Structure 1
C-alpha cells in the first residue's frame, strides 16, 4: 500500500512538472512572439518594428491607430480632447515629444511621430520611431500605411474598400436628391475669423468632395482647393456659403454671428440647409471620424 502511495505521489509530481513546463513554454513562446520584428519601409527609410506592438505611443496619427485597435499607452493632447475617442482612450497617458522622461516611463515598443517634431533622434533611442509627414499621403493611403506598420494591412484595406463603396452609394443618393449642380461649402467659426476648406482638410471634406463627389462653390474652389484652407472675415460669409453649408462649430468660441441678419439672410440658412458638426469631433480623417461623418451627412442630406 505504501509503495502504491509513493508511486501515485511520484506520478502526481511528474504531472505537475509537465504542466508547469508547458505553461512556461507557452509564456516563452508568447514573449518571443512579442519580440518578433519586421522591416517597415517608412518615408525616412527601412526600420525594424515589432510585429505585435504591445505599447504604442502615438504622437501623431493616433486616431488611425485607434481604428485598428492598437495597444496605445500614450497619445497626443489634441486626440485626447476629441469626444469620438473618449472611450478608447480611458487610462491612456497624454504625452508630447518634449516630455522624454514620461515617454521613457511608459516603456513603448513603438512610437509614431510627425516628421516636423523635435527629438526624433532621441525618440529613436527609446523605441523604434516611425515618422509621417502630414498631407504627404492621401487619407486612405495613410490608413493603409498605418495598417502596414501595425501588421494589420488586411484590416486597413478592407475598411478602405468598404468605406469607398458606402460613400459612393451615399453620394449618388444625395446628388439625386439635391441635384448634381448643388454646391456644398464647409465653413468653420473661429475667435475672430472664419475658415473655408478645400477637399482634404478634415471636417468631412474628404467625404463630401472626394468620396461623395459633391461640388464646392466656385469661390471656394478658387481660394481653398489648392491651399486646403482659406481665412476670411464674417462680412464675406455670404460669398463662401454654398447651396448647403456644413458648419464646423467650435463650442469654445463666440458664435454670436449666428444671431446676425447677415447670417440669417444667407440662402442656405433661410432654407434650413445648414448642418452643424462639432469642430472637436471632426478635425481628423481617420476611419472612426470618417464613418461618423459619413453617417451624419447621410442623415442630414437625405432626411431633410
Structure 2
C-alpha cells in the first residue's frame, strides 16, 4: 500500500510546486509590467521656458543645479555638480555618484539620464536637451521655500515638498520667537564670510542661513547691513569697517581656503560680539545652499547656539 501511495504523493507535490512557480512567475511578470509602465509614464512640467515632458518617476537624474533639493526628496541622482559633491552634508548620500559638468557632454551621455536639471546660466543646455528632458532654473527667481516646492512638482512629489515647507516654517518661526525672547526683540545678527581677497556681509537671501535667520526666524540685522547688503545680497568689506557691520551676534562662515588673517587683528577681537563669545562659527562648504537638508542642519545649530551656548 505504501509503495502505491508514494508515487501519488510525489506527483501531488510536483503539481503543487508547478502551480506555485506559475503563480510566482505571474506575480513577477505583473510587477515587471507595472515598473515598465511607471518608467514610461510622463507628466508635463511647466518650466521657466515653457512646458517640458518629463518622466513621472525619474530614476536617472543628472543634477547640475538644485541637487540638494532633489536629494531632500530622495530623487535618484546618477550625476551631480562638483560643488554639491564637495559639501560635507551630502557626501554620504552622494557616495558612488559621478561628478559631471555642463561642459562634459560625453560623460552625461554615458550616464543615460532620463532627466537633467541645470541653472539657466549653464552652457550647452540645447545639447543636454537632446540627451534627456532638461529643466533650467534661474537662481533667486523663487524664494528658498518656493524652490523646494517647484522641485517637488518636477519630481512628481509636490505634496511631499509642501508638507515639509509647512512643517519647517512652523518650527523655524517658533524657534525664532524663542530666540528673540532670550536675546531681545531688537538684538541684531550679522552673517560674515571671507575668501582670499575680502570679507563679506550678507543680506537676507544669500544662503549661509540668511533666509532662515532673517526671513523665517525674523531676527534683526544691523542698519549698515540693511543699507548695503539687503538689495544686492552681499557687500564686500575691508577689515577696518567690520565693526560698523557687526551685530550683537555674529554668524561667521569660515572658508578654509580663504584668508582669515583678519580674525587675528585687534579690530576683529575688539568687536563686542567677539569679546562676549557671541560668534557662531560654521564651515562655508556646508552652508552655501538653502535646501531642506542644509536648513534642517542650520535650524538645529542656531537653536542650540542661541538658546543654550551663547551668553
TM-score (norm 2): 0.93
How far apart, CA to CA, are the structure 1 residues paired with 2:93 and 2:261?
Answer: 34
Distance (whole Å) between structure 2 residues aligned to residue 135 and residue 301 of structure 1: 28
Match 2:147 to one of 124, 142, 150: 142
Q: Aligned residue for 2:89?
A: 84
**What is the deviation of 1:169?**
0.7
Mapped partners of 2:12, 2:303: distance in 1: 74
Report the CA distance between 1:41 and its aligned residue.
0.8
Unaligned runs of 5+ in 2: none
> What does residue 242 of structure 2 align with?
237
Distance 1:3 1:291 in 2: 67
Counterpart in the other structure of 1:126: 131
DSSP-derived class of the 1:251 partner: coil
Indicate whether 1:99 and 2:104 are aligned.
yes
CA drift of 1:54 comes to: 0.6
Q: Secondary structure at the match of 1:73?
A: strand
Partner of 1:27: 32
Cα distance in 1 for partners of 2:19, 2:181 equals 74
Pairwise CA distance, 1:19? 3.3
Describe the shift of the 1:259–1:3 C-alpha distance in structure 2 as closer, same or farther (beyond 3 A).
Answer: closer
Specify which of 196, 200, 211 is matched with residue 201 of structure 2: 196
Whole-angstrom CA distance in 2 between matches of 1:12 and 1:244: 72
For residue 306 of structure 2, the aligned residue among 287, 301, 304 is: 301
Q: TM-score, normalised by structure 1?
A: 0.95
2:159 is aligned to 154
Tell me the C-alpha RMSD between the 2 structures.
1.7
Aligned residue pairs total 304
Partner of 2:295: helix, strand, or coil?
helix
Bigger drift between 214-223 and 21-30 goes to 21-30
Query: Which of residues 178, 203, 223 in structure 1 aligns to 2:228?
Result: 223
- Cα separation, 2, equivalents of 1:175 and 1:9: 75
Mapped to 2, the partners of 1:76 and 1:56 lie a distance apart of 12
CA distance in 2, matches of 1:12, 1:212: 64
> Matched residues in 1 for 2:256 and 2:176: separation?
28
* Structure 1 unaligned blocks of 5 or more: none
